[in-house]
Structure 1
Amino acid sequence: MKGIILAAGRGSRMHELTQDKPKCMVKLKNKPLLDYQVAALKFADINEIGIVCGYQKEKIFNQHITRRFENRRWEHSNMVRSLIAASEWLKNDTCMVSYSDIFYEPLAIPLLMTAKTSIAILYDSNFKTLWSQRFTRPLSDLETFRVDSLHILQDIGSRAQTIDEIQGQYMGLLKFTPEGWQTVNLLLKTLDEHQVDNLDMTGLLKHLLLTDIKIQALPFSGTWGEVDSPTDLTLYETWMHC
């Protein structure tokens, strides 16, 4: 079992906070976001932790990082291209994959490890309270997210017309077994380079659903957050306890 943190992007919506450092090194409660992710992986006894770098890669530091990958096309590509940069690990080991602009209680990783399908994600089923604090018009920012009674993902990433289409918020935490990664590779081979460059993670998951791939989505009820703006940092400073 290995951990991969996707940290190639700049996070331009953070404005001056990422002018001289990557988003994963922005501090929340005096600690870089990266440290929260690494601590959660270590809590689950995952000691091989890789990071996919890009923007200001030399500024990224955590003593527990054991491998660095690089998305050389970080300026012109999206999250899936960063995932591909770590394919050496993904094709050989089950990997817990984390966005680098999120924080979460350590128990999130052991929960994700229990997933039975070859590709799995975590989601927040109690998303409405936090989302309403972050955005004045929640529906304008939220995307569809639906699971069935067995917690198999049914829909993700479309424009939501009503709140009933949203059963939760995808958290940016994923699990891939080598078999799951092989499935992803087969899908990516059907796309051209430009399409792969522009593919984000929810787009990838949506493509997989269209090919009838089962993706387990497990609900997480602990503390977590996505840092997408300076106002997010201000909000989380007041209530975060993980």
Structure 2
Amino acid sequence: MRALILAAGHRTTSGKPDDLPPASLLTLAGKPLIERQLAALRGGGATAIGIVRGYRADMIEVPEATYFTNERWAKTGPVASLLTAVDWLRAGPVIVSHGDIFYPRDLVHRLGAVRGSLVVAYDRLWRDHWAQRFAGSLAHAGAFRRSASGTLLEIGGKADTVDAIDGLPIGLVKFTPAGWQATETVLNGLDAATRDQLTLTGLLRLVLAAGTVSIGTVGTNGGWGVLDMPADAALYESMASAGELALEE
């Protein structure tokens, strides 16, 4: 099983983008996110690592990694980065990770082991996470519903009530060649501008709507996080100090 880290972008807070490191090099408890991702992916069973670089590509150096490049990182989204690695996605199972998140190796192992052409990881305890980051507001939470058997029924879109949210997708997805084939068919039906701006969640929403492949789900009870706001690292470090979050070494 291979793993692909989408690390082409940067986190925009204030000032010029060049003042910031790539998002995957932001530190959490003294360790860059990419080091935490590599430990989780390799510990979870990934035998090869691919990294899509773009912004400050020279800063991201990982021994024995395969590199892909999104030259248009400043004008495109995660799916454009994903498309730089189509040969990998067509050839065998690949776990795709956003570059600004961390997660436990057990989740990677379960995601890799579960059957399914296309599987998305989600957090069952999303409300606890949301309460910490957004004071409980649903303003940034999208709909996410599963069937009794765990098949994805809805992802993205507006969630008017918590009843429309069975969990929170965390930015970790497994594609098999069959799952990628169905995904690529959807992408080929879009214009270039739409493809360029697609998020991973937006892509999954389109694949789900197409109905050509079933999307499975694998849940976790917390244990992950995302560093896309200035206060995030301090929040997770505080949670770890309080025993509310286990940061794997």
Counterpart residue number, 1:78: 77
**Structure 1 171/14 Cα, relative in aligned 2: closer, same or farther at 3 Å?**
farther
Q: Which runs of 5+ in 1 are unaligned?
A: none
| Root mean square deviation of aligned Cα | 1.6
Counterpart residue number, 2:233: 233
User: Would you say the 8 A contact 2:26–2:32 is kept in 1?
Assistant: yes
Residues 153-188 of structure 1 show CA distances to partners (whole Å, capped at 9, x for unaligned) of: 111111111111111000100000111111111111
Counterpart residue number, 1:215: 215
The aligned length equals 241
Deviation at 1:19, TM superposition (A): 2.1
Q: Percent identity?
A: 36
1:15-164 mapped onto 2 (5 Å cutoff): 19-63=19-63, 65-164=64-163
User: Would you say the 8 A contact 1:17–1:26 is kept in 2?
Assistant: no
Q: State TM-score, norm by structure 2.
A: 0.92
Q: State TM-score, norm by structure 1.
A: 0.95
- AA matched with 1:103: F
**Structure 1 15/25 Cα, relative in aligned 2: closer, same or farther at 3 Å?**
farther
Q: Distance in 1 between matches of 2:131 and 2:226?
A: 14
Deviation at 1:106, TM superposition (A): 1.0
Which stretch has the larger CA shift, 150-159 or 38-47?
38-47
Deviation at 1:44, TM superposition (A): 2.2
Q: Distance in 2 between matches of 1:203 and 1:105?
A: 24
Q: Which runs of 5+ in 2 are unaligned?
A: 241-245
3-state SS, counterpart of residue 13 of structure 2: helix
Q: Distance in 1 between matches of 2:82 and 2:76?
A: 11
4+ residue runs over 4 A deviation: 14-18
Q: Distance in 1 between matches of 2:103 and 2:172?
A: 10
User: Would you say the 8 A contact 1:11–1:18 is kept in 2?
Assistant: no
Q: Does 1:179 align with 2:178?
A: yes
User: Would you say the 8 A contact 2:10–2:20 is kept in 1?
Assistant: no
Q: Distance in 1 between matches of 2:159 and 2:13?
A: 23
User: Would you say the 8 A contact 1:14–1:230 is kept in 2?
Assistant: no
- AA matched with 1:219: G
Q: Distance in 1 between matches of 2:147 and 2:160?
A: 19
- AA matched with 2:156: G
User: Would you say the 8 A contact 1:157–1:203 is kept in 2?
Assistant: yes
